[in-house]
Amino acid sequence: MAEESDFYRFTGTKGYIVSRPLVEAVNCAIALERPLLVKGEPGTGKTLLALHVAEGLGLPMESWHIKSTSKAMEGLYVYDTLQRLNDARFGEGNVGDIRSYIKLGPVGRVFSAPKRQLLLIDEVDKADLEFPNDILRELDEMRFTVMETGDEVVAKERPLVIITSNNEKELPDAFLRRCVFHFIEFPEPDMMRKIVDVHHPNVDTQLLDQVLIKFYWLRGQPDLRKKPSTSELIDWIAALLRSGISEDQLENHIPFLGSLLKNEQDTAALADFEERGGGMPSDWMDLGPKYNQ
């Protein structure tokens, strides 16, 4: 028992920085064999987490990206009636065998895999309000029946399920009850430095300081409709590095704003601010007590 749980113990990987609470939540989900529900602002690396948990534990991964039109059934299997009809009309394929028209979805594939796998259900909140309830039983019991054939698909080893949500819709209570939950906080500057270091090692410390001061200042502006997130910061730094900009040029101006702000009004608001001669902070002290403990 002890050896086995040690074997499936996630501790992080080289390319992904995790906070300790998140590590503990992941391990909790593994030990309890419950789905892990990860929420957080867009761009805080929810989907990446699954990728790296799979890598860290050496499990193959199957992703199910949810769209607004996704149906719970599609995750299990799809009965391709149209293909069968077509084959029947033109005398192709093995029309007599329904099984050859049953195509397993991501959940079905993970269940029927010979070994333990990781299933990522990405952005579960995109689907209809009822969607999470529809997959509840299947995820709980790790089995389902193909109605057309009566075959039962049972998971041989309980897969590890990671579910992400952008908080667009409220998830049903019954669904939440069964999950281990973690909310990814927006990283604090120190954590952010480590994250940046993974993507852009060897950034000049002073430049990075200026970059982060501007970034956190921008995030602190109450009027922004869409706050820039980690992934946007990484892109921005990439742009800055490629153009070879120095920290002095960052003093009172934010170049390549397009990589940080993705909203017309936000860009206009900042341009207004600069035109009015509004000063940007260039020191952590200017950002207020939150960053100077």
Contacting residues toward other proteins, per CB under 8 A: 1-2, 5, 9, 11-14, 17-21, 23-25, 27-29, 31-32, 34, 37, 39, 81-82, 85, 88-89, 168-170, 173, 176-183, 185, 187-188, 190-191, 194-195, 293
Least gap, CB of 256 to other proteins (angstroms): 27
Between 196 and 254, whose beta carbon lies closer to other proteins? 196
Which residue reads 């990283």 in tokens?
Answer: 187
Asked if residue 167 lies in contact with residue 125, where contact means CB atoms within 8 angstroms, the answer is: yes
> Is residue 87 within 8 Å of residue 95, measured between CB atoms?
yes
Q: Which is nearer to other proteins, 154 or 198 (CB)?
A: 198
> Least CB distance from residue 279 to other proteins, whole Å?
26
Q: Which is nearer to other proteins, 167 or 205 (CB)?
A: 167
Complex with other proteins: residue 29 or 119, whichever CB lies closer? 29
CB-nearer residue toward other proteins: 188 or 283:
188
The minimum distance between CB 232 and other proteins, in angstroms, equals 19
Name beta bridge partners: 39. 165, 183
The distance of closest approach from Cβ of residue 167 to other proteins in the complex, given in angstroms and rounded to an integer, is 8
What is the nearest approach in angstroms of other proteins to the Cβ of residue 82?
6
String of DSSP letters for 83-112:
HHHHHHHHT-S-TT-GGGGEEE-HHHHHHH
Q: What is the separation of C-alpha 99 from the centre of its chain, rounded to a whole number of angstroms?
A: 34
Contact 243, 55 (CB under 8 A): no
Q: How far apart are the first and last CA of the chain?
A: 43
CB distance 105 to 64 below 8 Å: yes
